[in-house]
Amino acid sequence: MQIEIKRIYEPAAATDGHRILVDRLWPRGLTKEAAAIDRWMKEVAPSNELRTWFHANMEEWDEFTKRYKAELKGSEALEELRSLAAEKKVVTLLFAAKTEDRNHALVLKQMLRKA
């Protein structure tokens, strides 16, 4: 299983494999055709409360990671994503955040690799 992450605004590529949008909100200014996603799993995205908190506290990466993992613990949606990732050769988790080094897709990728 190969898990990649990519901004949804980057063009789709054949090497992306199964493309899964992991944001709760649809990306601004993007049509469904342009997104070229195979699945939208908004259930694995941070809650609205956590997302709002993180946008106000971007420097608190470790705390965000801790809270997000706690939200996902025992989640049926996370287990479904794990199963999907296990059956596909390549899975690309798509996110809309501008920060490529601090976003929830990084946490998801880490959690899926540990499984």
Give pTM, 2 decimals: 0.92
Contact yes or no for 15/90 (Cβ under 8 A): yes
Structural domain count, the chain: 1
pLDDT band, residue 74 (cuts 50/70/90): confident
78: containing domain: 2-114
Q: At what angle do helices 76-87 and 104-114 cross, to 10 degrees?
A: 70
User: Sign of the CA dihedral 45, 33, 18, 90?
Assistant: negative
- CA dist., res. 64 & res. 103, Å (int): 9
What pLDDT score was predicted for residue 114? Answer: 81
Q: Which of 2-6, 41-45, 93-97, 99-103 has the lowest mean pLDDT?
A: 99-103
